[in-house]
A and B are shown apart, each in its own frame.
Chain A
Amino acid sequence: MPESERKTKYPQLGYGLGLRPDHFDEVLDGKSEMDWFEVLAENYMGIPGHGQSPLLKKLLRLREKYSLVLHCVSINIGATSPLDFQFLKDLKELKNLIEPSWLSDHLCWTGIDGKNTHELLPLPYTIEAVQHVSERILQVQDFFGERFMIENTSSYITYKSSEMTEWEFISEIVKKTDCGILLDVNNVFVSSQNHSFSPKKFLDSVPFANVGQIHIAGHDRRSNGLIVDTHDSAVCDEVYDLISYLSLNKELPSIMVEWDDNIPDLKTYEAQVLKVKESLTSPKVKAWT
């Protein structure tokens, strides 16, 4: 897609976190230092009578105070089965209610033929997959009438049929669709360790103009040497180092932390992303910029 046809940049929302139900009340009570929140769309969809769900009612109250973005795990953008338009319709209903700043899901597939693994399975990085996923992203963007954001996932396997690197794969899709990128720096780190590539090479190579959001999170190093994206612990130093590296010559977009298991208290959770804020406003980093 030519540069001239590209849409405007995503808004800079500041520092945020993936809001989990455990912390709703504290945030509503004004105890949060965050600028914005990301919420998992599926938690508010598909529940019979979800309009009456106490959780959704709380979310709508939160929306009055904060910017929100909707993050999904089930669009199944990479699957070879047809897109689930009932799911997209339900998502659109929620989106119209919440009015998020943007909508995102993972660059992966989760199942086929109506069956689900509940896993974010990687795609082979092939020309066929670029074409297939790009067509589906365009369909989704048409359906919502706006840009859709795709997140790079952590992966534990490499397909023999892959014809390019992950960052080349993402770049090709962005060229064809002008979709946004949710750059998960923890996932970059995890995959780089699992597949022995340079995480800095990845960060240098993705089309950064399309990056609208950054994720950071914790992971788990297994006894067999594999690193698994568990979101159950604090962010590691290597991930913070990669954020610093990015900030050397790039203007960072909205950044947030995710934590999904063994969720700590709100203060500990927020401290993960506030650490980035502190480092970016420190004299050392100011000198870099």
Chain B
Amino acid sequence: MDLKSIQKEIFQIVRTTGNSDSDLVVSDEKLKASERLHTYKRSSYLKPHSCLSDDFQVTKSLLGEERFDKLVESYLTLYPADTHFINECGKYFPDFLAASNEASSYPFIKDLSHLEWLRVESFYDFFNYKDENKNLGKVVVNPSIKTLLSDWPLHLIWDEEKAHGKKLTKVFVWTTEDRSVHVQAWSDDETKILTEMLRSSSLDSAVEILLLDFESEKLTEILTKNLSAWINAGLFEIKAET
């Protein structure tokens, strides 16, 4: 058998559930081929399992350890890692869960796991802060900000254990200088204004657009209440023009 065929067979054994036996590998008085191959198979499962357990902690605690482990096993078989970076192994997990039987028991599981994945992406995207941007515009947006529009107020999962009913909510996820990842949502009006702030290059242009939807007094009231808080929370900075 040529090298390519050997690698195809070994890859299949290592990356999928089921029998580890192979005629390609020597069994000896110490151990059978299947026992030797199992060492690779087990390790190849445990490394991404550990990553997924860290990245989807709330999802895991909701499902329980046993169900989570079984789902991870199926997920890793269906979605073998397509990158060198093990930290990216969870990127298809929300889609996988949405298509699984769990979605009928927990209709919010796709959004919940997606939100957890956005926390991971946000953490790494924080590194996209470019020093040079600080001199370019008046609003410097934190590059780690992610948003998720969900039918459930998922951000409350981090704060409270009680159940919440359905409510269309835009959840913001972002990372700050101290490497903390934050998850928060605001009222509809506040969300609308914050979204425009993040989209605009300056406070002036944001206000100009927002005045098409808001009374001046109402807009001033919301900005007075939130602008400093949003800046202090690390969502964006407002730089003076150079």
Contacts and interface: CB of A to CB of B under 8 A. Distances in A.
Given A117-B44, A129-B3, A226-B36, A159 B125 contact: no
A161 B40 CA distance: 19
Nearest to A52: B127
A225 B179 CA distance: 42
A115 interface: yes
Nearest to B48: A118
Contacts of A160: 23-26
B19 interface: no
Contacts of B47: 118
Given A80-B4, A156-B39, A226-B36, A117 B14 contact: yes
Interface stretch (A29-37, A60-68, A119-127): A119-127
Interface stretch (A41-49, A144-152, A210-218, A246-254): A41-49
Nearest to B39: A156
Interface string B84-110: 111000000000000000000000000
A231 to B, nearest CB: 12
B127 A48 contact: yes
Interface string B134-168: 00000000010000000000000000000000000
Nearest to A80: B4
B1 interface: yes
Contacts, number: 118
Contacts of A74: 84
A119 B23 CA distance: 20
B182 to A, nearest CB: 18
B34 to A, nearest CB: 10
Contacts of A53: 127
Contacts of A126: 3
A13 B35 CA distance: 40
Interface in B36-88: 36-37, 39-40, 43-44, 47-48, 80-86
A132 interface: yes
B11 interface: yes
Interface residues of B, number: 43
Interface string A72-109: 01100001100010010000000000000000000001
B7 A52 contact: no
A285 interface: no
Contacts of B4: 80, 112
Interface string B3-38: 110111011001100000001111010110101110
Nearest to B84: A74
Interface of B: 1-4, 6-8, 10-11, 14-15, 23-26, 28, 30-31, 33, 35-37, 39-40, 43-44, 47-48, 80-86, 124-125, 127-131, 143
- Band of interface residues on A: 35 or more
A157 interface: yes
Interface in A119-174: 119, 121, 123-124, 126, 128-129, 132, 156-161
Contacts of B125: 48-49
A157 B26 contact: yes
Given A117-B11, A222-B39, 12 more contacts: A48-B125, A49-B125, A52-B129, A84-B84, A112-B8, A114-B82, A116-B81, A128-B2, A129-B3, A156-B39, A157-B25, A157-B26
A50 interface: yes
9 contacts: A42-B84, A48-B128, A49-B127, A124-B3, A156-B39, A159-B25, A160-B23, A196-B28, A225-B30
A116 B127 contact: no
Interface core residue of B2, B7, B44, B81 (most chain A CB under 10 Å)? B7
A60 to B, nearest CB: 14
B15 A161 contact: no
A74 B86 CA distance: 11
A228 B30 CA distance: 15
Contacts of B25: 157-160
In the A-B complex, the 3 residue pairs with the smallest Cβ-Cβ separation, listed nearest first, are: A49-B128, A74-B84, A49-B127
Interface core residue of A48, A87, A114 (most chain B CB under 10 Å)? A48
A264 interface: no
A118 B2 contact: no
A123 B81 CA distance: 20
Contacts of A117: 11, 14-15, 40, 44, 80-81
A91 to B, nearest CB: 10
A11 to B, nearest CB: 28
A207 interface: no
B127 A50 contact: yes
